[in-house]
Amino acid sequence: MLVVSEIATLQRLLDDVRSRGSDVGFVPTMGALHAGHASLIKSSVRECDFTVVSNFVNPLQFGDGEDFSQYPRDLEGDNSLCEQAGADVVFVPEPEVMFPQLPDIIITPQKLASVLEGIFRPGHLEGVATVLAKLFSIAGRSRAYFGAKDWQQFLVVRQLCQELSMPVEPVACPTVREPDGLALSSRNRYLSDTQRAGAAVLHRSLMLGRQLIQQGETNPARISQAMAQEIKSEPQVKQLDYATAVDADTLNTPRRLSGEVRLMVAAIIGEARLIDNLGVAHSR
């Protein structure tokens, strides 16, 4: 497995791969890799001839007072996980290679960034869209693998590729979870043992929401209320940001739920802000 840190080197390498008729799979990450990231890499390795993983903690997507400087970094561990998962190249650019100065052009999703994470983390989805536009233009024609764990981010990526006609096909992969349902996340490292046990409440709230929908509940407010109550009943939860049932594609809250619904939750436990979600098809 090659480790590349220069943009032009990666571009030449991937152009060369494509000129030989091979297709490229791309897995963008911020490092501190875990089995969730490994599952994306393995999907790419299964479906594409050549897999590149990027490992870059993107300063643009962290707000003031967020955890950019403490964000876990473990390059050696990350490279060995990538190699074991079958990646061909890891792209690890220095911050000054990616952003020699703060970019003047920021990509701003309008509707998709006006709800949920867009409200609680102003500027976050803009930072994500901007770095991905850059990474996609470096990677070139490819399939790009994302976790459904960050559902709103995936919708932004899908729209970015469609509206800007990027030669990138985004693919959503299932969320990898701990046995008690907690979604794997680099930020789970911030949790003490007690907080870690309490964090399973997020998944329990999603299961509760799903159960209500499966029983025929169509009122989104009733589902949100039940999920919020479940989360607030856990003493380790410091703050509930949202617990809601929305349309899976627009993230809007309809008057009555039907079709593809996404249950979305975000809460702060200890020092970690955790998000999770679940797709449920409403039979109505």
Residues at the contact surface with ligand AMP, assessed by CB under 6 A: 29-30, 36-37, 39-40, 146-147, 149-150, 173, 175-176, 183-186
Amino acid at 145: Y
Tokens of 26: 């791309």
Nearer to ligand AMP, 112 or 257 (CB): 112
Nearer to ligand AMP, 55 or 236 (CB): 55
- The HSE-up count of residue 243 (CA atoms within 13 Å, CB side) is 26
Sign of the CA dihedral 67, 70, 72, 73? positive
Looking up tokens 């399973």 gives: 200
Of all residues in this chain, which one has the CB nearest to ligand AMP in the complex? 147
Is residue 37 annotated as part of the catalytic site, yes or no?
yes
| Minimum distance of ligand AMP from residue 213's CB (angstroms) | 22
| Minimum distance of ligand AMP from residue 71's CB (angstroms) | 9
d(CA 43, CA 218): 35
Tokens of 61: 């997507």
| Minimum distance of ligand AMP from residue 172's CB (angstroms) | 9
Nearer to ligand AMP, 175 or 195 (CB): 175
Q: Of the residues 37, 124, 203, 282, which is catalytic?
A: 37
Tokens of 236: 């380790």
DSSP class per residue in 111-147:
SGGGSTHHHHSTTHHHHHHHHHHHHHHHH-SEEEEEE
| Minimum distance of ligand AMP from residue 279's CB (angstroms) | 14
Nearer to ligand AMP, 44 or 224 (CB): 44
Catalytically active residues are 37
